[in-house]
Structure 1
Amino acid sequence: MTLGSRYQILALAGSGTMGTVYRARDLELDEVVALKVLHASLADDASTIERFRREAKLARRITHPNVARVHDIAEHDGLKFLTMEYVDGESLASVLRARGALPLVEVRRVARAVCDGLAAAHDAGVVHRDLKPDNILIARDGRIAVTDFGIARAVVDRDALTRTLGALVGTPAYMAPEQIEDPDNVDLRCDLYAFGAVLFELLTGERAWTGPNLFVVMSRRLGEPPPDPRALDGAISEALADVVKRAMARQRDDRFSSAGELGDALETCLSSAAEPRSRRPRRPTSSSLAATKTVAVLPFRYVGPPSDEYFADGLTDDLIDTLSMTRGLRVRPRGMTTTLKSIDVDPREVARTLDVQVVVEGSVRRMGTATRLSARVIHVSDGIQIWAQRFDVAQGDFLVAADRIAHGIAEALTADLTTSRRHEASDPDAIELYLRGRRELRASWSGDLSGAVELLESAVARAPADPNLVATWALALSRLAFLQGGATRLRARQAAERAVVVAPNLGESWVALAATRVYFGDQIGAAEALRSGVHRIPTSGRLRAALARVQLEVDVLDEAIRQLETAMQLDPTVPDLTEDLARAQALRGAWTEVDALLARPVDDDHGRLTRAVHRARLDLWRGNAVEVPDAVIAANIAALPLKVLLLQRDVARGHVTHDRLDDLEAEAMLPRPRFSLLLWQLFAELSAILGEHDRALAAVGRAIDGGLVDAAWLRRCPLLAGLRRDERWPALVARVEELAARLRGIVGSEADGL
């Protein structure tokens, strides 16, 4: 798409409170620029646009290498946009999210550049008024530049009708007190205050002012002295802390008088400062990985024989999977978009419903032995089509083309797609079998997986070196072995060992390997496989979820919750994520969080049944009644989980016969090592509720004999409180505690380094 017959949109760079920034090519000058499309609330006001023009003209007077130059303001079909110098790199905000507190040598470099840039702007009579890490750019060549000069001023100086809104312009975490109290009476020292707040964050990894809402954040700086960074890091020198506090002084007359003076003071402190040995970068949390762009991939439209519709489903799933593992994106799970299949939808309405910034849509058309794939990316707030592409491919190139589409979308969204590209075509029949098998695997995750395994096995037989096929086949077999046990365990182990050789960069391979090691009693080897896999593929949500489940069992709850939340950010399509997170919160006694998690929507019959069983279990933990949704009974799937659910309901009501409990015990005795452990745990809980103390204790013993390592459950489950008072309990659980301690050394918070 081209704006004003001059600026060709190349990619979405980011969004902010005032507009959306694109990377664009100036076709007249043949150079890349940053193009900011103003939000309609600003663009529709003629006086504001005139002020933008004046501020842009004023900002053009700043010529300094540490300031991104402003070019002009223009219009296209009602869209108002600014053009600015494009700085190829990342924002300081992105660096802080990923790394936390920076080494002093880097703080010094940022401080010098920003102070020099501010000094040049102030000398030209321009005050920024909204300085923050998002507006400090670090180029790939090391240059540091401050951007967005003049934009905040243009908004603040709106007419009297909007001036009260102008008081809130700026970012609360970095705004000077006078911007809150008297926004019409500010000077260059508000920029010094803002940079003091940025310095606080550079040194500590935390914001200077925090609070549960906007007004708390703003009021704290009005009633409290500036915070001391040494309260968070005692290794920071007193002189450096004093500079930060002076820059953030409540009264502007107590601050430095100029950016140059602040820069000189920082240079004095930082030029001779030794790097404190105790300081280290903050380990990234789930918020560090939080996506900056929200995306919905709509079900791709299909044109062709109805029997081949799974090609469109396969492309949609592949894009969701790949983009979900892309740093910088938050992709809505397929369950939220499935209802939009085969209907005409307005992308803007979809965006409002799903709360996303970007919509991906497209089509799949079968033409004999060839397939035409079309896709486009739309930024919904302004309707700009960021990217569009069409591919005509042979069936064997289907996944290669899907990969090219995913990489094209990621590039258009300026996101970091870390998955490797597929370069080779696969056997056309193998692709067909793979797509059908993967669809069956997802649809039957908690049910009969034999059909999915058969399809995937046939696909691998035709394309034995295709990483995606082999990894998915190994994952399906490992899940089937969990549900069936028996001879399937050996087949699953062989497939997993093959997968880590053929597909070492896919999370499914390592998850399958870890699962099959557990089936053969090697919990230590399983934990080591998961840790190795996460270090190798840190963006795999499935791998992080598997690691978190081990952490959950060995009672490293805070770390398990962190990993589960990170996994949900990376790939919300991983099965049972919400249920595992709810169980972790229940073990902590955080029932409000449990209820919020279990209230999240579920998109299919198997998912609803799994959710109902987990909800029933946790309701029993706290003595609540158990409700069985009519939709779950009507679906009539997965006989054993449904039998367990109905048994849980009747135990809660006190309406249960011993023969039904005997049936569950018989199921637990079947040779399905991992699944049987879960059944023994459920059996122990139900027996404890019914007052069958010895039977419950025996069930715990059977689970431990089978390889149970769930120390958190043994320690914390409310239903086992009576068993924990039994004199036989310490000897019974001693083996678990010993193994759990060894596993904590492998997957615990200090060991994983993630």
Structure 2
Amino acid sequence: MSGTPTEIGDTQVPGARGTGDWGDLELRGIRGQVIAGRYELLALLGRGGMGMVFSARDRELDEVVALKMLHPSLSCGTQDRIRREVKLARRITHRNVARTFELGEHQGSRFLTMEFVDGEPLANVLERQPRLPVERAAPIFIAVCDALEAAHEAGVVHRDIKPDNVLVEPRGRVVVTDFGVAAFKDESQDGGGTPAYMAPEQVTGGEVTLQTDLYALGVMMFEVLTGALPWPADSAIASMMRRLDEPPPDVLAAAPGLPPAIAAIVAGCLAREAPARPASARAVAEALRAALLEADIDPALPSSSTLLAIQAPSRRDTPVAGTPARTLAVLPFVAGPEIDGYVADALVEDLIDSLSALKGLRVRARTRVDGERDPQEVGRALAVGFVVDGSLRRLGPRLRLGLRLVDVASGFQTWSERFEVAPEQVLTLAGPATRAIAGALTLDEHGQDREAPTDPAALDLYLRARHHYHLFTPPDTLRAVELFHEAAALDPESPMIASGLSMAAVRLSFVQMDTSSALLTTARAAAERALARAPQLGEPYLALANLSLVTGDQVTAARHARNAIARAPSSADAHELLGRLLLEAGHVEDGERRLRAALELDPRLSVARWELVRLAAFDGDWDRHDRLVADRPDRERRAPWAVLVRFATWRGDPALLARLEAELRDDPDVQFRELYLALLGVYDGRMPLAPVLAAVDLELGRAGHGTRQQQFLLQLMVELAGAVKDDATALNLLDRAAAAGVFDLLWLDRCPLLLHLHQEPGFARVRAQIQSRADAIVDAIWSG
């Protein structure tokens, strides 16, 4: 562990609650206290989620060690796993690895001792000199590779290689710290590690291997050589999604003078797929040595005078190596009888969105709590470290939001605060609440203050409109548009109201198959008004993206969606839209990942859920399809009939088709009921194709050329012709679909009703046209 203390002598540890949590360890006066009758504490070196690290003198051997005091609230299972990891870490003996000595106990609290490294983190070096020349950096990389090779041979994967865990001694020795403990996985099933350095398989919860360490090494090499991370972003989730979506950046573009062989090594370590990375840390070290010799650079480590550019190290709280990002859930607020439920729901939604933008914090999606709401029990069930519980009540003319933060491991309430505002300012609470919670969790403060509607009546209309918008049914969408209109009349300058109006008007135009100039003109004017008023927000760009998609300009939709995600990385709606675009464009893994991220952020997104159902149908995985349909929330009991009818025809199950037809005939309120009955009739041969296509053609004229509605109807017509094996008609309609802007390459390649068309003359030409459009959309997403 590093020899750079944060304080010497009397040290008060932020957030410590006294001696009850740590045996008889008094945290206000560290120096001189003795642990287990042997280790005399000298100074605090760092603190994290698992405990605190001190420098200590081993009285028995008369030498300084690093002592990590583990939090007593860690479960027995967690402590057992730490014991196993320590035993494994002790097998690693190498000059570039900080040794682990023993695991002990003091007054009911576990501790472990490690080698005290009299140096400083590479991160401190980079604070003074953000970009190191290759002749200084490459020898450090080689030493890290040697350490990793020793660990991998002993069966240990580090999982958290980063500049904070690489120590540089004044004599030039490089030491990697926290083997074993850094490999620890917490009980949330989080893969460990620091978000900025995580490999794609860590982000997605895949298998962690030695190539995972090599990816983190590649990120660190890029950072050291260029002075910047390869995927910079405003939040952890944005950074993680960028590395899943985008190819590795060219290190030569950021460091033009770098030897090409070194750049190739960095690029190899940053390969998205683990098998494409180097086979071992030894292979990376050998390649680095060869590249240095080729560039006539001595691979020996330079002296401290040239490497460290000796200055007083910065005083900062160095985090304990291997500490995973904090995890948190926000429970639904308890609303007083005088508070409408949609007001409390909107505030919870805004607080989650704001907290999601904090670096070092992972926030669970909106959580439903039934029965007893013991925060500790709920937190354990959700596998998070902290829970925010709150209540919203009216006190005279004002609203009071009471919040408390509960540590799930210990059950202690670690922070609480009350906020009072006028009712019309309720949506401004997310910003100060986020900053207060960030302070309690010792995170970088964030929390953008919302420019909420100023008129109390407008705010109430806006919140009601949002509630109806999220219900998604045609009547609710119509009601949302009406309420947004009323709110906009009272507060025409609010970018939040204008963005909401635009989104609702676009959705209404689609669900009603109505692209009348009035609806879309309203949507465009509202979105542009919001963008002019608040270009820093993501909502106006998201509104323009949805408008562009519905009107057939998919490339512009992709650019707007990318702008939305850049300004609001935790926007579930933006992730959903990008996921849909990527999925249709044939980038299935990237699209599915986006859709799942959107549902993690907001489980109410029914469109994302049905896109995943569609993907299961394309895969022919009807068990997964049925499971997803059955697991939908209660409010989605009435599934979209267009989805159910189409997927049933793809499946070809006569019993299912008969049941759907019976249900349709019994429910006269289904929108486009006669159309769906006609589709089922054509499919089973009871109705001729031509008159049904003619009827759909009438709808096409109303939809408007090139719009999303027309594209959907044309795809439906192609499927009908394909189902009855009228190939000539199907290909003709496919030509029309391509001309109208269809870019759904996934549908074209996998729809079961079209597979027999793939060998027909003319199919390849149409596919190339759709492929070209899909590629342009993906290019717009990746290029921004």
Amino acid in the other structure paired with 1:475: M
CA contact (8 A) 1:430 1:460 kept: yes
CA contact (8 A) 1:541 1:571 kept: yes
CA contact (8 A) 1:298 1:359 kept: yes
Amino acid in the other structure paired with 1:682: L
1:679-702, Cα deviation, whole Å (9 max, x unpaired): 332243234324455654555455
CA contact (8 A) 1:471 1:499 kept: yes
Q: Which of 573, 588, 595 pairs up with 1:564?
A: 595
1:509-552, Cα deviation, whole Å (9 max, x unpaired): 22221232344443343333334444454443422332333333
Amino acid in the other structure paired with 1:319: L
Residues 449 and 330 from structure 1, CA distance in 2 versus in 1: closer, same or farther, beyond 3 angstroms? Answer: same
CA contact (8 A) 2:523 2:547 kept: yes
Q: Which of 390, 396, 402 pairs up with 2:418?
A: 390
Equivalent position of 1:677 in the other structure: 711
CA contact (8 A) 1:459 1:469 kept: yes
Amino acid in the other structure paired with 2:490: R
Equivalent position of 1:41 in the other structure: 76
Q: Which of 578, 586, 594 pairs up with 1:555?
A: 586
Is the counterpart of residue 623 in structure 1 residue 652 in structure 2? yes
Deviation at 1:708?
2.5
Residues 44 and 420 from structure 1, CA distance in 2 versus in 1: closer, same or farther, beyond 3 angstroms? Answer: closer
| Superposition pairs of residues 97-176 of structure 1, within 5 angstroms | 108-109=139-140, 132-134=158-160, 138=164
1:132-164, Cα deviation, whole Å (9 max, x unpaired): 2448672999999976699799x9xxxxxxxxx
Q: Which of 551, 560, 563 pairs up with 1:529?
A: 560
Amino acid in the other structure paired with 1:617: R
* In structure 1, C-alpha distance between the alignment counterparts of 2:769 and 2:761, rounded to whole Å: 19
* In structure 2, C-alpha distance between the alignment counterparts of 1:652 and 1:674, rounded to whole Å: 24
Is the counterpart of residue 752 in structure 1 residue 752 in structure 2? no
Equivalent position of 1:350 in the other structure: 378
Is the counterpart of residue 496 in structure 1 residue 496 in structure 2? no
CA contact (8 A) 2:495 2:531 kept: no
Equivalent position of 1:714 in the other structure: 748
| Superposition pairs of residues 725-736 of structure 1, within 5 angstroms | 725-727=759-761, 729=763, 733=766
Residues 652 and 130 from structure 1, CA distance in 2 versus in 1: closer, same or farther, beyond 3 angstroms? Answer: same
CA contact (8 A) 1:511 1:543 kept: yes
SS of equivalent residue, structure 1 residue 383: coil
Equivalent position of 2:341 in the other structure: 309
* In structure 1, C-alpha distance between the alignment counterparts of 2:608 and 2:136, rounded to whole Å: 41
Structure 2: state its 5+ residue gaps.
1-14, 21-25, 29-45, 55-67, 91-95, 127-132, 185-190, 194-207, 221-263, 272-277, 287-296, 304-323
Residues 740 and 523 from structure 1, CA distance in 2 versus in 1: closer, same or farther, beyond 3 angstroms? Answer: farther
Is the counterpart of residue 583 in structure 1 residue 599 in structure 2? no
Amino acid in the other structure paired with 2:375: P
CA contact (8 A) 2:434 2:446 kept: no
* In structure 2, C-alpha distance between the alignment counterparts of 1:34 and 1:361, rounded to whole Å: 29
CA contact (8 A) 2:122 2:167 kept: no
* In structure 2, C-alpha distance between the alignment counterparts of 1:422 and 1:522, rounded to whole Å: 30
SS of equivalent residue, structure 1 residue 422: coil
Equivalent position of 2:19 in the other structure: 4
SS of equivalent residue, structure 2 residue 652: coil
* In structure 1, C-alpha distance between the alignment counterparts of 2:405 and 2:668, rounded to whole Å: 38
Equivalent position of 1:374 in the other structure: 402
* In structure 2, C-alpha distance between the alignment counterparts of 1:465 and 1:653, rounded to whole Å: 54
Equivalenced residues, count:
602
Amino acid in the other structure paired with 1:303: G
Amino acid in the other structure paired with 1:721: L
Residues 304 and 201 from structure 1, CA distance in 2 versus in 1: closer, same or farther, beyond 3 angstroms? Answer: same
* In structure 1, C-alpha distance between the alignment counterparts of 2:473 and 2:298, rounded to whole Å: 60
Identity of counterpart residues, as a percentage? 29
Amino acid in the other structure paired with 1:493: R
Equivalent position of 1:222 in the other structure: none
* In structure 1, C-alpha distance between the alignment counterparts of 2:633 and 2:121, rounded to whole Å: 37
SS of equivalent residue, structure 2 residue 591: helix
Residues 703 and 580 from structure 1, CA distance in 2 versus in 1: closer, same or farther, beyond 3 angstroms? Answer: same
Q: Which of 420, 435, 454 pairs up with 2:463?
A: 435
* In structure 2, C-alpha distance between the alignment counterparts of 1:197 and 1:691, rounded to whole Å: 49
| Superposition pairs of residues 625-704 of structure 1, within 5 angstroms | 626=656, 639-640=670-671, 666-671=698-703, 673-693=707-727, 696-697=730-731, 699-704=733-738
Residues 501 and 242 from structure 1, CA distance in 2 versus in 1: closer, same or farther, beyond 3 angstroms? Answer: closer
TM norm structure 1: 0.63
Deviation at 1:430?
2.3
* In structure 2, C-alpha distance between the alignment counterparts of 1:371 and 1:536, rounded to whole Å: 30
Residues 405 and 596 from structure 1, CA distance in 2 versus in 1: closer, same or farther, beyond 3 angstroms? Answer: farther
Deviation at 1:488?
0.5
Amino acid in the other structure paired with 1:561: E
Residues 195 and 683 from structure 1, CA distance in 2 versus in 1: closer, same or farther, beyond 3 angstroms? Answer: closer
Equivalent position of 1:300 in the other structure: 333
CA contact (8 A) 2:69 2:111 kept: no
* In structure 2, C-alpha distance between the alignment counterparts of 1:637 and 1:69, rounded to whole Å: 75
Q: Which of 282, 291, 310 pairs up with 1:245?
A: 282
* In structure 1, C-alpha distance between the alignment counterparts of 2:387 and 2:326, rounded to whole Å: 11
Once structures 1 and 2 are overlaid, which stretch shifts more, 386-395 or 346-355?
A: 346-355
CA contact (8 A) 2:509 2:515 kept: yes
CA contact (8 A) 1:507 1:542 kept: no
CA contact (8 A) 2:501 2:526 kept: yes
1:599-653, Cα deviation, whole Å (9 max, x unpaired): 573224347513x753553443343454769999899797227666666667666
1:432-486, Cα deviation, whole Å (9 max, x unpaired): 2221111111123555412212222333333344333332222222222323321
Q: Provide the alpha-carbon RMSD of the alignment.
A: 5.9
* In structure 1, C-alpha distance between the alignment counterparts of 2:741 and 2:712, rounded to whole Å: 11
Residues 4 and 660 from structure 1, CA distance in 2 versus in 1: closer, same or farther, beyond 3 angstroms? Answer: farther
* In structure 2, C-alpha distance between the alignment counterparts of 1:327 and 1:569, rounded to whole Å: 18
Once structures 1 and 2 are overlaid, which stretch shifts more, 694-703 or 455-464?
A: 694-703
Is the counterpart of residue 598 in structure 1 residue 611 in structure 2? no
Is the counterpart of residue 476 in structure 1 residue 507 in structure 2? no
Deviation at 1:372?
0.7
1:292-343, Cα deviation, whole Å (9 max, x unpaired): 555432221111326x332222222223343455565554443x51x63xx5
Amino acid in the other structure paired with 1:553: E
* In structure 2, C-alpha distance between the alignment counterparts of 1:427 and 1:22, rounded to whole Å: 49
1:90-125, Cα deviation, whole Å (9 max, x unpaired): 999xx9xxxxxx9996675577699999x9xxxxxx
* In structure 1, C-alpha distance between the alignment counterparts of 2:451 and 2:653, rounded to whole Å: 54
Once structures 1 and 2 are overlaid, which stretch shifts more, 626-635 or 699-708?
A: 626-635
SS of equivalent residue, structure 1 residue 420: coil
* In structure 2, C-alpha distance between the alignment counterparts of 1:417 and 1:573, rounded to whole Å: 28
Deviation at 1:397?
2.0
1:374-407, Cα deviation, whole Å (9 max, x unpaired): 1222232321324322111111221111332234
SS of equivalent residue, structure 1 residue 390: strand
* In structure 2, C-alpha distance between the alignment counterparts of 1:90 and 1:634, rounded to whole Å: 71
Q: Which of 481, 485, 488 pairs up with 2:515?
A: 485
Amino acid in the other structure paired with 2:782: D
* In structure 1, C-alpha distance between the alignment counterparts of 2:632 and 2:573, rounded to whole Å: 18
Deviation at 1:428?
2.2
* In structure 1, C-alpha distance between the alignment counterparts of 2:571 and 2:270, rounded to whole Å: 35
